[in-house]
Amino acid sequence: MQLARLSRPFWRGGTFRTWATRCWRRSWVNEARPLGAMSPSAGAGTNLKEVFREKIEPMHKQVVELREKYGEEVLGTCTVSQAYGGMRSVKCMTYETSLLDPEEGIRFRGYSIPECQKLLPKAKPDGAEPLPESLFWLLLTGDVPTDAQVAQLQEDMRERARVPADVLKILDSMPHEQLHPMSQFAAAINLLQRESAMAAAYANGANKSSYWEHCLEDALTLIARLPEVAARIYRNTFHGGKHVPPGQLGDAHDMGKRLARLLGFESPEFDELMRLYLVIHADHEGGNVSAHAVRLVGSALSDPYMAFAAGMNGLAGPLHGLANQEVLRWLVQLRQRLGDRPMTTENLTELCWQTLNEGHVIPGFGHAVLRKTDPRYTAQRQFALKHLPHDDMFQLVSKLYEVVPQVLEAQGKVKNPWPNVDQHSGVLLQYYGLRESQYYTVLFGVSRSLGTLASLVWDRALGLPLERPKSVTTEWIREHFHKQPMKA
């Protein structure tokens, strides 16, 4: 009885058992295209949808048990300062795909970035960075995939990858010089939305228990199409609309290489950089602006395209994903201001103070949660040490690693003076010739689809409800606390 009452928000109108039975029954007769356009011999073991389906029941069960046992326990509190202060550190949501530790940094399903680099499948024959598709598999299922599982997912993604011609035509006709690449990107995602399986299923009266299937369908199609969309925006905006025809991609089987080639880059090192880039930017638990926007908008049952477009508008803010663009602009300005003077600690310290005194933040440093150097920064630094140790810009970034934390600590208000992911990404991209910094956040966005959409599929699989926290006015706070005795 107690179990049934607690489980109501997850599968209204019944116990878990009746909900699950309905769910399995529907899934046997569902009309959604099976993942992987399976070859006759391929079993459920390499089919992402079937592997994921098996994860749902145990996870549901766990959530029900936890809610039954701890449902009335307090997870976090919110002070007046936190309510005014961007809700920093308020524990008030769950998010399954990744968890951020302030000291250690991100873990994807429990695996640190170095562990992912070691364990996840790589490109054959000699790739050193994890394949982005393997990270999506890990984020969705919690399992490190086998080579065969990744190969089948790649095959499925390739079949979904072509962007409809009329969408490309609209992208080609946009005012590229006036419209920021992130505006073009968000618009493109909304244009693709007309093919949403989730929106169509909802309109046709689909049962709530099947939402995750349509959501997964949309997630896979959208992720598969983003490389072509992103490359189209890049070539239109910065290369006079000369495109690499997707039909000529040859053996570009994985998302990283495909993206690299569509952007117009040929070097195998750049393929590896794209793989690393897509993996490390994918997910950063649930409270950051882009992930939370996707979760929030998706909770209204807006389809994954609508939800992801909302997240991309959030990523486009300079305090979030746009920081990677701002970092490169700032580094270029720093070099100009330095002129003929040597790159000494004293000279760089002076220029950092100049930035602060002009009323600007130093982009690429600080974080709302992290309190140490971002492991995503460290992963990129290691890539630079391996491939471009003598690059001028890398030397500057390395030197700033010594200088900026001291300046920010001396300023005295920053909670974390250490570099974040955005401090390093532009330096790597410009080294290989991708110098148009206004474009960088689009690459961040392609990567973030892997984490935020995997999480969105879980939201629908768990039947999470509409998000609707309570807000109060300043007047309410004044009145409410006025009536309460103050703490001694």
Interaction site with ligand AMX (CB under 6 A): 88, 288, 319-321, 323, 356, 361-368, 408, 413-416, 420-422
CB of 106 to ligand AMX, least distance (A): 11
Name residues whose C-beta falls within 8 Å of residue 207's C-beta, 6 or more positions apart in sequence: 22, 26
387 is catalytic: no
Cβ closer to ligand AMX: 342 or 359?
359
Catalytic residue among 156, 254, 283, 422: 422
CB of 439 to ligand AMX, least distance (A): 16
CB of 352 to ligand AMX, least distance (A): 9
Residue nearest to ligand AMX as judged by C-beta position: 366
480 is catalytic: no
The answer to whether the CB of 468 falls within 8 A of the CB of 223 is no
By CB atoms closer than 10 A (0-12, 13-18, 19+), residue 350 is middle
CB of 417 to ligand AMX, least distance (A): 8
Cβ closer to ligand AMX: 7 or 290?
290
CB of 103 to ligand AMX, least distance (A): 15
60 is catalytic: no
Cβ closer to ligand AMX: 30 or 82?
82
Cβ closer to ligand AMX: 89 or 299?
89
Distance CA 103, CA 9 (A): 35
Catalytic residue among 214, 281, 292, 367: 367
Cβ closer to ligand AMX: 151 or 427?
427
CB of 280 to ligand AMX, least distance (A): 11
CA dihedral sign, ordered 232, 237, 241, 244: negative
Cβ closer to ligand AMX: 202 or 353?
353
Catalytic residue among 320, 374, 424, 459: 320
Of 223, 222, 221, 197, which Cα lies nearest the Cα of 210?
197
Residues in the chain: 488
| Residues with catalytic function | 320, 367, 422
